[in-house]
């Protein structure tokens, strides 16, 4: 008998201090070479910076930043006959958009100039959450512009 439908769906775990799944997802993407405790330290230092600058809960600021960076549409390449490739706009679901937003926030914070990763991360999160600017927001707008430009190829989905 087939056991295809019996697999349980994995649930994300919470981080120890904030009890938030989104923080755990961010820390897992930030981690390099398996150093999770260092990634947690970086995030908690960034949380202290966010708390001092905005006087709000850092987790709610992070959630707001992720919602503002999250794309609604992405562009995927599709191969058609005779070797032609087309860029096709595809709408994405909430979990995939959340992962892209986290990835873009971390990439933009790594490219920032700053003294430490915690200060870079906190300034990028604050920019994305309250000021609606920063490299992560720019990446989202660029993705939406590309999807709008390639809307003529949407029938190749």
Domain boundaries, the chain: 13-156
Share the mean pLDDT of the chain. 87
Whole-number pLDDT of residue 5: 67
- Find out whether 66 and 101 touch, Cβ atoms under 8 Å: yes
Neighbours of 24 (CB within 10 A): 19
Task: Tell me the DSSP string of 105-122.
Answer: HHHHHHHS--SSHHHHHH
Is 13-156 CATH 1.10.455.10?
yes
Q: Please check whether residue 133 is in contact with residue 71, taking contact to mean a CB–CB distance below 8 angstroms.
A: no
- For the segment 45-92, what is each residue's pLDDT rounded down to a tens digit? 999 999 999 999 999 999 999 999 999 999 888 777 777 788 888 889
Q: What is the pTM of this model?
A: 0.84
User: Residues 6 or more apart from 117 whose CB is under 8 A from it?
Assistant: 42, 46, 109, 110
């Amino acid at each position: 008998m087939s056991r295809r439908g019996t697999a349980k769906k994995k649930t994300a775990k919470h981080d120890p201090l904030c009890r938030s799944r989104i923080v755990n997802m961010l820390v897992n993407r930030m981690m390099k070479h398996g150093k999770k405790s260092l990634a947690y330290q970086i995030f908690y230092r960034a949380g202290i910076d966010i708390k001092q600058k905005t006087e709000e809960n850092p987790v709610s600021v992070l959630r707001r930043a992720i919602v503002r960076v999250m794309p609604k549409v992405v562009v995927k390449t599709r191969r058609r006959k005779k070797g032609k490739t087309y860029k096709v706009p595809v709408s994405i679901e909430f979990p995939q958009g959340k992962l892209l937003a986290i990835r873009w926030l971390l990439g933009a914070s790594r490219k920032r100039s700053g003294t430490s990763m915690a200060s870079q991360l906190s300034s990028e999160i604050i920019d994305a959450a309250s000021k609606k600017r920063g490299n992560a927001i720019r990446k989202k707008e660029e993705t939406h512009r590309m999807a709008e430009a390639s809307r003529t190829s949407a029938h190749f989905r």
